[in-house]
Amino acid sequence: MEMVKMTYREALKQGIREALLNDERVFLMGEDVGHYGGAFAVSKGLLQEFGAERIMDVPLSESGFVGAGIGAAMAGMKPIVEVMTVNFSLLAMDQIINNAATLLHMSGGQLNVPLVIRMGCGIGRQLAAQHSHSWEPYFAHVPGLVVLSAGTHEDARGMLLTALKSPDPVILFEYTFMLNMEKEIASDAGAMDITKAKVRRDGKDITLITYGNGVYKSLEAAEELSSQGIEVEVIDLRILRPMDEETFLASVAKTHRALVVEDAWRSGGMAAEVFSRIIEKVFFELDAPLQRLCGVEVPIPYPRHLEEASVPQSQDIVSTIRKMMGL
Amino acid sequence: MVFLRAEGFLGASLEWDKEWLPQIYKIHMEKRAKEKKVSPGEQERHLLYQMMLIRRFEEKSAEQYTKEKIRGFLHLYIGEEAVAVGVTQALSDEDYVLSTYREHGHALAKNMDSGAIMAEMYGKLEGCSKGRGGSMHLFDANINFYGGNAIVAGHLPMDVGMALASKKQQKNIITCCFFGEGAAAEGEFHEAMNLAALWQVPVLFVCENNLYAMGTALKYTHAMQDLEKKGGAYEIEAYAVDGMDLIAVSKAANDAVKYIKTNNRPYFLVCNTYRFRPHSMFDAELYRDKKEVEEWKKKDPIPKYQQHLINKKLLSKKQIDEMEKQIEAEIKKAVIFADEGSWEPIEDLTKFVYSGQKA
Amino acid sequence: MIEFKMPSLGADMEDGTLVEWRKKPGDQVKRGDILADVDTQKGLIEIEVFDEGVIDTLLLEEGVKVPVGTIMAIIRPLGEVTEEKDIPSAISSEEPEKSEEVPAKTSEEKEERRVKITPLAKRIALENNLDYSVINGTGPEGAIVKKDVEKALAEAVGPSKEMGGFTEKADEAIVEVKKEHKTPPIKAIRTAVAAAMSKSNREIPHYYLEKKIDMTRALEWLTETNSGLPVQKRILPAALFIKSVASSLVDVPELNAEWEDELVIKNEINIGFVVSLRSGGIVVPSLKNADLKSVGEIMEWLNDIIPRSRSFNLRSSELSGSTVTITNLGEGGADKVFGIVYPPQVAIIGLGSVAEEPFAKKGMVGIHPMLYVTLSGDHRATDGLVGSRFLAAMDKHLQNPQAL
């Protein structure tokens, strides 16, 4: 397979571009997606290529334009709505939860909402308390939504394409911290499955379950631990709702140990949900207490050293796993 | 000007309840003591000083940003100084001010210490928000400056709530809220306008229309571009003023404050202005023409006001040079203060999550 | 000379491509002038200069992409003369990433424990009709894990001989390391440590004492002593601690001993000093006749032995003969450490990190640097009173560091 190097930003852009080329009903709307070129330069140049009908700048009115996206989807369009970052998503939360997620149910199966909402999210750029959120668990709490987390370049490239085929509203999380990161992906990379978690690395000693910003950090830690004789199985959840539990339950049954790594705050995070399922389903496979490394429960502070201390780092993963292995 | 306003304040109060008089007189005397002697042109020179300070302070901030002393987002106010200074001079020290992420100018105009602002942008413990906020989150309750609110329009409802409180407490305080024209497209703007008018609370809404919501021009975001007309929908008195002219802004703000105090109703003041700098540091300005920027720079409020004072013989060229030196010294001091500031220990990371919590 | 560097315009800007210089050498520039056009992920940005002067040298060619912080040009402040030598030729200014190792936290459970067993281990035990209450757990918090149950099952089938000569085994493992050199069998060390510690935990009834010691004077003495010394001769607190332990053992010899069904006090004071390996595991080199050595000599020994320990470059004689052990956490880790006695020794002294704490002295509360010293003793050999005397002696010696 031929591999090409590309940034996470470029992968996102190629995904959007392919979606626009594939289906005339698809259009992108969001704050600064057009003339500015996208707040993170993801959609730079698309306005020139596709025109203002399909790349729509919108005013700063999250509630308004997310609602408009829902309406357009109900009426046969395939909108990709960009909420610049998850930080502003609460302004549109009423539209997302009360409308997008419930219309199908309230209308007795008559009205589905094939809408994709993309959001940049995550921490790591010293943007302080209001601009560093990891709110995947909020959305993963809501029945009616499909919640995806693009923790790798291939998912950044391909999740959107599959999401647009979903009959129901999809929330797609992208990670601004990774935008400049370069990785190799297959030159013919395209649509990615959005139903299963993925084993990103095989291992026999311990299962590490993660998503989003945690994926590359965990793989890095697994690499280091491998040199110390510990083989970590790294699982990328990818789909936070509806969650694919089979993949991680099978892994825990093999390794008998599990650690969850996520940037989101600890209480009520994805880790809590993953653990509940492990305890419910494979309790008698456990040979060590479950452990989690999550975001420290504090509004994210601005100074770099405090920001870094707020979320698990690769070294924290290494030392936690060593401890779990009794070293 | 503060002094002059206090005079007017006293005059207006003569017909009021007699109980108020001693207290008002006391405020008046305190102000007079604080102001020392107001010589001709002193107030005007003070306003010029503030505008020039904002300009130089922001230039220094940009420099410190490129040196990685300041991180995160840094939004500069250069070009819009007449708005912050002109509006703030109409307010009293007790009036509340809420602002946006582009708030260094408002903070300085409200007399926030420049060292505390610089230290905040450095992320140092000595910053006005203990380094936790950075450029976008300047707070100082002592001078009634309530941020530094970085979700566009997110602070407008808060603003109405504060004014409602001061109304209930029978405090003679105005809540002044700065926001951009981008915020006027947010639902929260309209909700806040409606509530303020409905409750008849003393709010001064100041829209700084700099023509671009980040990089998207007014014409792409507003169907009705005469923003002041939006006040009409809520029966809010509104006025649009040339935001590049300190004298015009000051007069409009004085009138607005007088209106609010007299009628106990909100007021919507639109200041048409322009930022000379990009939206934030990392902005290639693909969305506007360089010629347009140059055209607006001709309307720079600072040289305009300098010339006005020279014409009026309230200021000499030499005095401007001295002022520049004074400002340079103040900024140097601020930078040293920030440089010498300390990092908060990581052990204190979870501080300030709940009131009364120990570190 | 002023170095003009590729500016950082956003946390997400990592590099920029110089598209065009707007100025050439010899041009005068002032604050606010545009010096160059730089292409970024967000498009072309004009880069301004914040200084005044004359362009001396342009170090970057157009079209080149460099990281933030790279020196792009040299600006000569007005009135300054060129000095050729000052001009850097390289275009790299990357700061090395700091990577501090997180010290492993040490804690030993002292409380009485009920039988802790993991769900998996319990399931296996029950399936095999094994009474797990008698199994010794090696998992977290002393819990019985799958491995322990499997071992017990194997022993039930064919019980292997009780380990008696485990110390030799440990030494053997370490000596092997020496032979193979540079291919450290981590697992062998781990096994040796595991065997020794399990035996100790199984056989030795421990008692634990701790004492807070005010380090003000000791640290002052170190600062004073070090002020006159070259960097490589500077004395670290660890050397002083070892010396104070040695001197305290002279005062309380009962702890410098072995238990061989009775207390045998040793003539020499040979201190085993625990060195933790980066890859996990520990080795314990021995400082012979520590009481006869000066603090300076001890420091020299440490400087020599620690790197050799970590590179597995020790003679077996350097690993044997210890009569007592010190485990020293160093800075920044846990406050205190309770060691496990290394048989046939009868005591292990644990030195925590020095941290500032409020401390009352002569009726006045002040902030003092405090050290937690712990003692884990073999209760068959000595009693708490002896241990207590020893810790008091430590305190006494550390208050008079100049006498050590």
Q: How far is A64 from chain B (nearest CA, A)?
A: 8
**pLDDT tens-digit readout, B223-248:** 999 999 999 999 999 999 999 999 99
- Are A287 and C190 within 8 A, CB to CB? no
Is the pLDDT at B33 greater than 70, yes or no? no
Q: In the prediction, which pLDDT does A271 show?
A: 98
Min mean pLDDT across C93-102, C120-129, C250-259, C395-404 is at C93-102
The yes-or-no verdict on residue B355 having pLDDT over 70 is yes
Q: Which residues pair with B203 in a beta bridge?
A: B175
Residue from the list A36, A88, A309 with its beta carbon closest to the beta carbon of B349: A309
Higher per-residue pLDDT: A301 or C319: A301
Question: Does the structure show a pLDDT above 70 at C100?
Answer: no
* Residue predicted with more confidence, C11 or B315: B315
Residues of chain C with CATH 3.30.559.10: 204-403
Task: Summarize pLDDT for C131-175 with one digit per residue, the tens.
Answer: 888 888 888 888 899 999 988 888 875 433 333 333 333 333 343
Please judge whether A41 and C41 are an interchain contact, meaning their C-beta atoms are less than 8 angstroms apart. yes
Contacts of A41 in chain C (CB under 8 A): 41-43
pLDDT of residue C163: 34
Local confidence band at B148 (pLDDT 50, 70, 90 cut-offs): confident
Query: Which CATH number is B40-280+289-341's, of 3.40.50.720, 3.30.300.30, 3.40.50.1580, 3.40.50.970?
Result: 3.40.50.970
Residue range C297-309: mean pLDDT, rounded:
86
What six digits make up the tokens of B122?
């450095």
Provide the pLDDT confidence category of residue C111 given band limits of 50, 70 and 90.
very low
Taking an 8 Å cut-off on Cβ atoms, the answer to whether A296 and B349 are in contact is yes
**Looking at the predicted structure, is the pLDDT value of residue B20 above 70?**
no
Q: Which residues of A76-107 are buried (b: 16+ CB within 10 A; e: fewer)?
A: ebbbbbbbbbbbbbbbbbebbbebbbbbbeee
Residue of A nearest to B187 (CA): A61
**C190 chain-A contacts, CB cut-off 8 A:** 327
* A131 in catalytic set: yes
Q: What is the DSSP-derived secondary structure letter of residue C133?
A: G
Chain C residues with a Cβ under 8 Å from any Cβ in chain A:
11-12, 14, 41-43, 99, 102, 104, 118-123, 138-140, 143, 145-146, 186-187, 190, 279-280
CATH of A198-324, one of 3.40.50.920, 3.40.50.1820, 3.30.830.10, 3.40.50.970: 3.40.50.920
Q: Residue ranges of the domains in chain B?
A: 1-38, 40-280+289-341
What phi and psi, each to the nearest 5 degrees, are found at residue C246?
-60, -45
- Quote the minimal CA–CA distance from B354 to chain A in Å: 10
Mean pLDDT of chain C: 80
Terminal-residue alpha carbon distance, chain A: 40
Look at residue A84 and tell me whether its pLDDT is greater than 60. Answer: yes
Q: Which of A105-119, B246-260, C66-80, C189-203 has the lowest mean pLDDT?
A: C189-203
- The pLDDT score that the predictor gives to residue C94 is 41
The size of the A-C interface in CB pairs under 8 A is 66
Instruction: Give the CATH number of domain A3-186; options: 3.40.50.970, 3.30.540.10, 1.10.10.60, 3.40.190.10.
Output: 3.40.50.970
Distance of CA B27 to the CA centre of its chain: 23
A36, A129, A297 member nearest B215 (Cβ): A36
Comparing CB atoms, the residue among A36, A39, A91 nearest residue B286 is A36
A 58-97: CB under 8 A from B: 58-64, 87-88, 91
- Choice among A97-101, A194-198, B3-7, C302-306 with the minimum mean pLDDT: B3-7
Structure-model confidence comparison of residues C201 and B225, the more confident one: B225
Provide the pLDDT confidence category of residue B76 given band limits of 50, 70 and 90. Answer: very high
Least confident of A231-235, B1-5, C259-263: B1-5
Give the confidence band of B24 by pLDDT, cuts at 50, 70, 90.
low
Name chain A contacts of C138, Cβ cutoff 8 Å: 326
Predicted pLDDT of residue A149: 98
Nearest to C245 by CA among C319, C295, C282, C317: C295
Residue C272 CA from chain centroid, whole number: 17
Nearest chain B residue to A64, by CA: B187
Facing C12 at nearest CB: one of A44, A125, A283: A125
Cβ atoms of residues B129 and B141 within 8 Å: no
Residues in chain B closer than 8 A to C7 (CB atoms):
65-67
Q: Tell whether C10 is within 8 A of chain B (Cβ).
A: yes
pLDDT at B233: 95
Instruction: For chain C, give every residue range classified as CATH 2.40.50.100.
Output: 2-86
pLDDT at A24: 93
Who wins on pLDDT, C398 or C364?
A: C398
pLDDT of C166? 34
- C window 11-40, beta carbon within 8 A of B: 11-13, 31-32, 40
Report whether B6 contacts B27 (CB < 8 A): yes
Is the pLDDT confidence value at C193 over 90? no
Residue A22 in this model has a pLDDT that exceeds 80: yes
Per residue, the 3-state secondary structure of B36-99, as one string, reads CCCCCCHHHHHHHHHHHHHHHHHHHHHHHHHCCCCCCCCCCCCCCHHHHHHHHCCCCCCCEEEE
Q: Does A125 touch chain C (CB under 8 A)?
A: yes
The domain C204-403 is placed in CATH, from the list 3.30.559.10, 3.10.530.10, 3.10.450.50, 3.30.465.10, at: 3.30.559.10
Of C118, C121, C280, the CB nearest to A322: C280
Please tell me what DSSP assigns to residue C117. B
Whole-number Cα distances in Å, B117 to A121, A130, B89, B104, C288:
28, 19, 20, 8, 60
Chain B neighbours, 3+ Cβ pairs < 8 A: A, C
Q: Please name the residue that has the structure tokens 């994210």.
A: A300
Catalytic residue, chosen from A24, A35, A105, A131, is A131
For the segment B214-228, the average pLDDT, to the nearest whole number, is 94
Residue B98 has pLDDT above 70, yes or no: yes
B345 secondary structure, DSSP code: P
Mean pLDDT of C77-93: 53
Rounded to an integer, the average pLDDT of C350-368 is 85
| CATH of span C2-86 | 2.40.50.100
The band of A199, judged by pLDDT with boundaries at 50, 70 and 90, is very high
pLDDT for res C360: 85
Q: pLDDT value at position C40?
A: 85
Is there a contact between A61 and B186 if contact means CB atoms under 8 Å apart? yes
- This model of the complex carries an ipTM of 0.76
- Pick from C259, C218, A88: which is nearest to B187 by CA? A88
Confidence of residue B29 (pLDDT cuts 50, 70, 90): low
pLDDT of residue C110: 40
Of A165-174, A313-322, B245-254, C128-137, the range with the lowest mean pLDDT is: C128-137
Of A59, A60, A302, nearest to B123 by CB-CB distance is: A302
pTM of structure:
0.64
Mean pLDDT for all residues in chain A: 95
Across the interface, whether the CB atoms of A288 and C43 are under 8 A apart is answered no
- Tell me the nearest-neighbour CA distance from A19 into chain B, angstroms: 24
Contact A319 C102 (CB under 8 A): yes
C50/B286 CB distance under 8 A = no
* pLDDT for C352 beyond 50: yes
| Residue C86, pLDDT above cutoff 60 | no
Intervals of CATH 3.40.50.970 along chain A:
3-186
pLDDT at B297: 96
User: Catalytic: A105?
Assistant: no
In which residue ranges of chain A is CATH 3.40.50.920 found? 198-324
**What is the least distance, in Å, from the CA of C16 to any CA of chain A?**
12
User: What is the average pLDDT value for chain B, to the nearest integer?
Assistant: 89
Sign of CA dihedral C212, C218, C219, C220: positive
Chain A residues closer than 8 Å to B123 by CB:
126, 302-304
- Rounded to whole angstroms, the Cα distance separating A41 from C212 reads 58
For residue A305, the model assigns a pLDDT of 95
Neighbours of chain C (3+ CB pairs under 8 A): A, B
The answer to which of B315-319, C3-7, C187-191 has the lowest mean pLDDT is C187-191
Measured over the CA atoms of residue A251, residue A257, residue A260 and residue A261, the dihedral's sign is negative
pLDDT of residue B358: 45
Q: Tell me what pLDDT residue C176 has.
A: 37
Rounded Cα distance, C216 and C224, in Å: 12
| CB distance C11 to A132 below 8 Å | no
Query: Can you tell me the mean pLDDT for C269-277?
Result: 87
Grouping H, G, I as helix, E, B as strand and the rest as coil, residue A172 is: strand
Q: Which of B82, B84, B79 is nearest to B59 (CA)?
A: B79
Conformation bin of residue C69: beta by default, left when phi > 0, alpha when psi is -120 to 50: left
pLDDT band at residue B178 under the 50/70/90 scheme: very high
Where are the domain boundaries for CATH 4.10.320.10 in chain C?
119-159
Cα torsion at C133, C139, C141, C143 (round to 10°)? Answer: -20
* The predicted structure's pLDDT at residue C203: 86
Give the contacts of B319 (CB within 8 A, at least 6 positions apart).
B45
Q: Which of B187, B220, B353 sits opposite A63 (nearest CB)?
A: B187
For residue C234, the number of C-alpha atoms closer than 13 Å in the C-beta half-sphere is 11
- Flag whether pLDDT at C179 surpasses 50: no
Say what the pLDDT of residue C107 is.
42
User: Please, which chains are in contact with A (at least 3 CB pairs closer than 8 A)?
Assistant: B, C
Q: How confident is the model at residue C12 (pLDDT cuts 50, 70, 90)?
A: confident
Quick one: pLDDT at residue B34? 59
**How far does CA C108 lie from the centroid of its chain?**
18
- Would an 8 Å CB–CB cutoff place A204 in contact with chain B? no
Whether the per-residue pLDDT at A202 is higher than 90: the answer is yes
A54 touches chain C (CB under 8 A): no
What does the alpha-carbon distance between residue B254 and residue B90 come to, in Å, rounded to a whole number?
5
Residue in B closest to C11 by C-alpha: B72
Task: With CA atoms as reference, report the closest residue to B135 among B111, B108, B105, B104.
Answer: B104
Give the residue-averaged pLDDT of A49-59: 93
E strand or H helix at B269: strand B267-272
Chain C residues near residue A284 by CB distance under 8 angstroms: 119-120, 122-123
| Mean pLDDT computed over C36-53 | 87
The token pair that represents C175 in the structure block: 């000596």
Do the Cβ atoms of C44 and B284 come within 8 Å? yes
Of B59, B72, B282, the CB nearest to C13: B282
- Percentage of chain B surpassing pLDDT 90? 77
A39 touches chain C (CB under 8 A): no
Which one of A24, A31, A49, A62 is the catalytic residue?
A62
- C291 has pLDDT over 80: yes
In chain A, which residues have their Cβ closer than 8 Å to the Cβ of C39? Answer: none
Residue C206 has pLDDT above 80, yes or no: yes
Q: Which helix (H) or strand (E) holds A67?
A: helix A62-74
CA atoms of A47 and A54, how far apart (whole Å): 8
Position A272 scores a pLDDT of 98
Q: Which CATH number fits domain C119-159: 3.40.50.720, 3.20.20.140, 4.10.320.10, 2.30.30.790?
A: 4.10.320.10
pLDDT, position A13? 97
